[in-house]
Chains A and B, each alone.
Chain A
């Protein structure tokens, strides 16, 4: 138990005052010369039972009453988790706040979300117990520490506003621990408020090991996990995976790939029909969709555009339920941009193979084109038009003009595929300028009699992921004759041969664009890429589409936790109603990006689709991630009224009153015994 005025507890020995007074009272006896000793002896024998018990009870009640009074004026705190507050008071209270979209799950009665409930609870707790301590918040979006001067203002702070982002909890904890190390905070209570969603907790993150070690090493830190693991009982969700503007005859229509989700308390219940409000450029209509239990995709949901505007925005809305975050999905559309591939190569055979693949029309409504540039003609490349740039040439030196152009290209979200440059153009060793982004090509390796075979490729995501219906690409058949291994600082491999040697990797970049490296060339004498072309074709077109998504003037994207450095002015066409203006760029909506020197771009921002996944980290997994015993878990729910710490002095006052009442009842003189009166105890009775 914790007390707001613990010093007053020093007065607790005063509770023994009644016992002391009783003993003094006994000592201050008077002496009487007495004749009727026989009655006294009899009475003493009889008084050993109830009367003594009564006296002990009376004394106990007096002690309890005094103790309760002292406890009451010490202002005790209690609540579901009052026991946690025992021990030393913290110098710093660090709140790590999960601001992911799923934290906006709301109690329909109170209208309070998990996030706001957590903030209220923590503000209340800090208000009651944290006097003198620093209150610091680090949120999952900015990962920056903000000092909160007044617990009341915690909920209004910009760093605690709702978002439609995804969280990286290990990164958040790491940021908290790093901040604690830097700020050299003393005793610290770390409160991590989260809804334990598996996608936010990222059990496979490499950071967990270090976090466990750091938590175990620091004795002055206590980690409290304020969790809201409750999932919505009845929830409908809608998300848009893709939007395509198609021409049908002379009219146009939008084809939306929807993901419908339904979490029902009764899993066997029949699919539910639900009216969905479709807003197109501000005009509302209603359609009825069928929601099966769990997640289902609805490809090709059609919205007629007629001959209307070639570009615009729209929104799909579900009626309010306990998770408002997945009730709205935004989309934008515009005329499709041509898929243009720029090829920088001096090798005609390579250029032809790439060009042939890039020009093949996957979608007949679009135009595909490519152009080949010699390695010296980079200034001719139309950077703005290209969705994919295949770079089969020497890498530019760091800080060179070409390197800057490539950086800008990636910053615009386009795709760049690096192919090994020709062997004869290898620069001589020594006096070599620093390479662009630390990327190096190794020596060309000629395969022996038994060429290496593909050992593994990433089937879940990336360029070689399985097809939509789950079939793997025929990557196994790839023949490798010549290869040129590469090295880069931070990569994610998609294709590996023996000894974990990667043939295809994505270099992780801070920009939205994708940078891929392939150690093979699409030449007969290098590999079977071009001849057995399926995997190669798919790979190339996936990279092209990724770039085209950004090249297009209308795109869907998730709300990003780390907002890109974006100096372009933004016009919001539509936006989720924000509680405050702060952090509005982190909410779902449709916006227009007015780029300098080019057309404006429409963007629909939606919550990451992973936020809809209702999986919650299990207790065992939590123990595994944070280290068993390394944290205190407090499960809460939005509809709970209790606070983390409530003042319970009233209970003690009631206890005191009760004790006094019992004491008074016990102290009442016994009623006159009629039997005794009959026995002649009235004065002057005579025979």
Chain B
């Protein structure tokens, strides 16, 4: 057991409500055990997949005799294989993740939100028998727990989540490339970051992940103040990542700031839609259960044959 046992980022009531919603993968997963997720290979589940013509060498036990009786042809009846899911959490721990939303009665830091979201997801995945791992870091993958199944492993992952600390400059792109290389087979990769860097290099990293057939979910954590930029008097902005502080008159830069933010978000939107990334813009003042519920519902297939 790790020395960090504090798991106040997990809310039992929230988890209890969310347990009714399954965590699905949007693409078939390659698990090592039977589970509740679709697999790219055909297997022996109850889910009928297709008929195909018999070819010599096929197992004759899987011949559909009824079809042979009606048509006098040999067909093999194939069924979907169900497997388990590997959930890989990638958490950005650069200095900017230490940002706290101001003005609300209960201040919420970005990292805290990451803990709540990633911890809850890890719990939900483990609860339905999926493997969970976590990769965290600022300038690359600094802490790494590969996905595994089992309650004890969940404890390790939750400990790691609880001990996340922000600091240093961002290089999430490097971390994403590293994770893409390290995660061997298809997995659901949930990235938690503020993405406060030039979005263009991120395009390659996401492509890299998609190339590896991973299902990528991107949680973009932003504060409304960072977008709306509503300041009423000159403010000294201290860089959380150690850069020089900046004194600015909001009335002067308000408009260009919003313009810059607008361009940035448009660029992000363009990238995620192009790469079919499951993108979630998360406002720090939102309750995390709503975000998760939205995320989970969004992943539920429209024709819920198996869970309906």
Interface band, chain B: 35 or more
Contact across chains for B281 and A687 when beta carbons are under 8 A apart: yes
CB-CB under 8 A for A51 and B261, given A36-B226, A38-B197: no
Q: A683–B101 Cα gap in the complex (Å)? A: 15
Contact across chains for A683 and B259 when beta carbons are under 8 A apart: no
Contact across chains for A680 and B266 when beta carbons are under 8 A apart: yes
CB-CB under 8 A for A26 and B265, given A34-B99, A670-B255: no
Which of A31, A37, A679 contacts B265 (CB under 8 A)? A679
Q: A30–B247 Cα gap in the complex (Å)? A: 9
Q: A679–B246 Cα gap in the complex (Å)? A: 26
A-B contact count (CB 8 A): 149
B102 interfacial by beta-carbon distance below 8 Å: yes
Contact across chains for B262 and A32 when beta carbons are under 8 A apart: no
CB distance from A303 to the nearest CB of B (A): 92
Interface band, chain A: 35 or more
CB distance from A83 to the nearest CB of B (A): 41
Contact across chains for A47 and B253 when beta carbons are under 8 A apart: yes
Q: Is the interface of A mostly helix, strand, loop or mixed?
A: helix
Contact across chains for A43 and B102 when beta carbons are under 8 A apart: no
A596 interfacial by beta-carbon distance below 8 Å: no
Chain B 217-250, CB-CB to A under 8 Å as 1, else 0, gives 0000000101111010111111111010111110
Contact across chains for A35 and B259 when beta carbons are under 8 A apart: no
- A683 cross-chain contacts in B, Cβ below 8 A: 224, 283
CB-CB under 8 A for A681 and B262, given A33-B99, A44-B253, A687-B279: yes
Contact across chains for A680 and B238 when beta carbons are under 8 A apart: no
Contact across chains for B236 and A40 when beta carbons are under 8 A apart: no
Q: A37–B248 Cα gap in the complex (Å)? A: 11
- B8 cross-chain contacts in A, Cβ below 8 A: none
CB-CB under 8 A for A35 and B99, given A686-B281, A687-B273: yes
Contact across chains for B286 and A44 when beta carbons are under 8 A apart: no
Interface residues in A269-298 (C-beta closer than 8 Å to B): none
A471 interfacial by beta-carbon distance below 8 Å: no
Contact across chains for B283 and A32 when beta carbons are under 8 A apart: no
Most B C-beta atoms less than 10 A away, residue of A25, A36, A679, A686:
A36
Chain A residue, CB-CB nearest to B280: A686
- A687 cross-chain contacts in B, Cβ below 8 A: 269, 272-273, 277-281
Contact across chains for B256 and A51 when beta carbons are under 8 A apart: yes
Contact across chains for A681 and B258 when beta carbons are under 8 A apart: yes
Contact across chains for A34 and B265 when beta carbons are under 8 A apart: no
Contact across chains for A42 and B280 when beta carbons are under 8 A apart: no
Chain B residue, CB-CB nearest to A679: B262
Chain B residue, CB-CB nearest to A687: B279
Contact across chains for B252 and A34 when beta carbons are under 8 A apart: no
Contact across chains for B226 and A37 when beta carbons are under 8 A apart: no
Q: A28–B247 Cα gap in the complex (Å)? A: 11
Q: A51–B252 Cα gap in the complex (Å)? A: 6
Task: Spell out B's residues near A (CB within 8 Å).
Answer: 95-100, 102, 110, 194, 196-198, 224, 226-229, 231, 233-241, 243, 245-249, 251-266, 269, 272-273, 277-281, 283, 286, 294
26 residue pairs A–B, Cβ–Cβ below 8 Å: A28-B234, A31-B238, A32-B237, A34-B237, A34-B239, A34-B246, A35-B96, A37-B237, A38-B196, A38-B197, A39-B260, A40-B248, A42-B257, A43-B257, A51-B252, A51-B256, A52-B252, A55-B249, A673-B262, A676-B262, A679-B266, A683-B283, A687-B277, A687-B278, A687-B279, A687-B280
Q: Which 9 pairs, one residue from A and one from B, show the smallest C-beta to C-beta distance?
A: A46-B256, A35-B96, A679-B262, A687-B279, A43-B257, A34-B237, A43-B256, A43-B253, A35-B99
Task: Spell out A's residues near B (CB within 8 Å).
Answer: 25-26, 28-47, 51-52, 55, 670, 673, 675-676, 679-681, 683-687
